[in-house]
């Protein structure tokens, strides 16, 4: 009997019970009429994608890139992004449609979503929270693992990981795992163990509070929450309509930093009491002034924000949110009292609240700014700078065999693009690194940086870079040559 699959969010209680009893880890996202409950589909991956409206965008992308044979003839593990994944990617990248994505970039994206081995999470070789590396069709690595509930995870242990929505679907040519995201490789998480050559200095807020807009039938806009043990930013839909809006404010005196040295890192740390962790942003801005106190600030008299966003975090289930404010400190040279405003971005499913500890919290750490300082300046030197070779219309990984600096820790070496490539793109993760864009040496170490050729030009391409480290050491005029073959 041909499998009929209709994407939805539930399995019947009966099917769920059977799955738990038989250890089949199909997550609760599809309703099946198969010959059993083992996820065996009886069709190719390509047929499955074509027959399901939830993957219309993926079907268009595959057709445009001509990669149908990979989904039809090859024995592979296919990570299949649904329509929601493509819509999110298009919006965040500034594209209106699949057809607007440069073809080489789209082709490389899809090839990363295809693993060259069969990976199914019922395999006893795949242990809990033990990510294993697998080669993908674009030459990069994808780490696959599972949690204690047999939910599949992509790139666990790197700086960006994803949870698989529906796993262990078995077409006749491999395994499929459906996701709500366009996934990409990112650098392994950096070891934050303290370097003995660095020192830290920590300051705490002079004042903190949140403010709340009036809600239907409830008047909050003139209420002060300065004594509350929580800071409770919340996004309302539509945004900034006052009803349900909540913003957090924090005031610090940067002159409270006393230790000498060069600031190499600065973080605003907020302990988390509760978060849904749904992956929406919390945005940090500078408040327009310091003319507020936690005992009197309300929604109606609070200062607005000024300037561009300083930093943000993507909400997840963690003990604390850490906002990187290093560039704000180094570029703006603030001193004395500085106020910050914390604003929640749009949540994927309605209004969401994050409860963060204020300085009045009885058990959690108070808000703090942690500065990491170096007492000496490094000297950077070019260790390796070899020509990069790429096929026409193809892609290649730029790693430390091709480009590497010495003189500082890899995570501290920051490259700036002074002249972007003219015949292709530098890609890290899902982002194009253009003029004035940046990447770090750990991106080179972990195979996170790609050059993708546009498929139209010939000859040689070049990328001009400068580099610096967090102590202020600099090196200019690094020219990377790219030979197009």
Pick the CATH number of 381-484 from 3.40.50.720, 1.10.10.1100, 2.60.40.10, 3.30.565.10: 2.60.40.10
Q: What is the dihedral of CA 387, 436, 87, 171, to 10 degrees?
A: 20
Nearest-angstrom CA–CA distance, 359 and 369? 13
Task: Give first-to-last CA distance, the chain, whole Å.
Answer: 49
Is the model more confident about 478 or about 146? 478
Contacts of 396 (CB under 8 A, 6+ apart): 139, 388, 389, 390, 450, 451
The per-residue pLDDT for 184 is 87
When pLDDT is cut at 50, 70 and 90, the band that residue 39 belongs to is: confident
Region at 277 (left for phi over 0; alpha for psi -120 to 50; beta for the rest): left
Strand partners, 382: 405
For 207-254, the pLDDT digits (tens) are 999 999 887 777 899 999 999 999 999 876 555 455 568 999 999 999
| Residues of the chain above pLDDT 70, percent | 86
The answer as to CATH 3.20.20.80 being correct for domain 5-179 is: no
Whether 474 and 443 have beta carbons less than 8 Å apart is answered as no
Least confident of 6-15, 393-402, 405-414: 6-15
Strand partners, 367: none
Which fold is adopted by the domain 198-374?
Jelly Rolls (2.60.120)
For 276-289, the pLDDT digits (tens) are 877 788 999 999 99
DSSP states of 399-457? -TTTEEEESS-GGG-EEEEEE--SSEEEEETTEE--TT-EEEHHHHHTT-EEEEE-SS-
When pLDDT is cut at 50, 70 and 90, the band that residue 338 belongs to is: very high
Whether 458 and 392 have beta carbons less than 8 Å apart is answered as yes
Q: What is the dihedral of CA 125, 128, 131, 133, to 10 degrees?
A: 10
CA 470, 473, 479, 485 torsion: positive or negative? negative
The per-residue pLDDT for 14 is 34
Backbone dihedral angles phi then psi of residue 165, each to the nearest 5 degrees: -80, -45
Domain limits, the chain:
5-179, 198-374, 381-484
The model's pTM: 0.57
Of 212, 214, 280, 203, the C-alpha closest to 248 is 212
The per-residue pLDDT for 33 is 36
Backbone dihedral angles phi then psi of residue 105, each to the nearest 5 degrees: -70, -45
In the three-class reduction of DSSP (H, G, I as helix; E, B as strand; rest coil), residue 72 is classed as helix
């Amino acid at each position: 009997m041909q499998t009929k699959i209709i994407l939805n969010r539930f399995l019947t209680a009966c099917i769920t019970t059977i799955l738990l009893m038989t250890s089949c880890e199909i997550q609760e996202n599809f309703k099946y009429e198969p010959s059993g409950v083992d996820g065996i589909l009886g069709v190719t991956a390509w047929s499955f994608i074509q027959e399901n409206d939830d993957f219309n965008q993926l079907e268009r992308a595959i057709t445009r890139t001509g990669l149908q044979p990979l989904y039809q003839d090859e024995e592979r593990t296919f990570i299949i992004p649904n329509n929601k994944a493509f819509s999110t990617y298009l919006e965040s990248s500034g594209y209106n449609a699949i057809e607007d994505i440069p073809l080489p970039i789209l082709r490389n994206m899809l090839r990363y979503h295809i693993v060259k081995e069969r990976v199914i999470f019922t395999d006893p070789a795949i242990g809990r929270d033990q990510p294993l590396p697998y080669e993908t069709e674009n030459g990069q690595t994808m780490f696959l693992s599972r949690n204690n509930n047999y939910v599949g995870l992509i790139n666990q242990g790197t700086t960006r990981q994803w949870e698989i929505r529906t796993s262990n679907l078995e077409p006749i040519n491999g395994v499929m795992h459906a996701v709500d995201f366009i996934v990409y490789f990112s650098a392994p998480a950096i070891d934050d163990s303290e370097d003995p050559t660095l020192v830290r200095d920590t300051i705490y807020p002079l004042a903190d509070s949140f403010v709340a807009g009036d809600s239907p039938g409830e008047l909050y806009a003139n209420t002060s929450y300065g004594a509350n043990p929580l800071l409770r930013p919340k996004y309302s839909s539509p945004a900034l309509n006052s009803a349900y809006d909540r913003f957090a404010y924090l005031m610090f005196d940067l002159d409270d930093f006393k230790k000498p040295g060069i600031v190499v890192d600065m973080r605003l740390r907020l302990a988390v009491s509760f978060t849904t962790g749904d992956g929406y942003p919390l945005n940090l801005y500078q408040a327009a002034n310091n003319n507020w106190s936690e005992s009197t600030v309300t929604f109606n008299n609070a200062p607005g924000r000024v300037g561009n966003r300083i930093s943000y975090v993507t909400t997840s289930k963690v003990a604390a949110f850490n906002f990187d404010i290093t560039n704000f400190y180094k570029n703006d040279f603030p001193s004395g009292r500085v106020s910050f405003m914390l604003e929640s971005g749009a949540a994927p499913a309605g209004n969401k609240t994050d409860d963060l500890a204020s300085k009045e919290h009885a058990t959690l750490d108070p808000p703090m700014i942690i500065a990491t300082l170096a007492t000496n300046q490094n000297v950077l030197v070019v260790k390796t700078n070899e020509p990069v070779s790429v096929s026409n219309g193809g892609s290649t990984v730029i790693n430390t065999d091709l480009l590497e600096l010495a003189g500082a820790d890899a995570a501290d070496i920051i490259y700036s693009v002074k002249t972007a490539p003219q015949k292709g793109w530098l890609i890290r993760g899902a982002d194009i690194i253009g003029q004035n864009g940046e990447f770090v040496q750990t991106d080179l170490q972990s195979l996170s940086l790609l050059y993708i050729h546009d498929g139209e030009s010939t000859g040689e391409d070049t990328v001009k870079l400068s580099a610096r480290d967090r102590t202020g050491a600099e090196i200019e005029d690094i020219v990377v040559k790219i030979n197009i073959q």
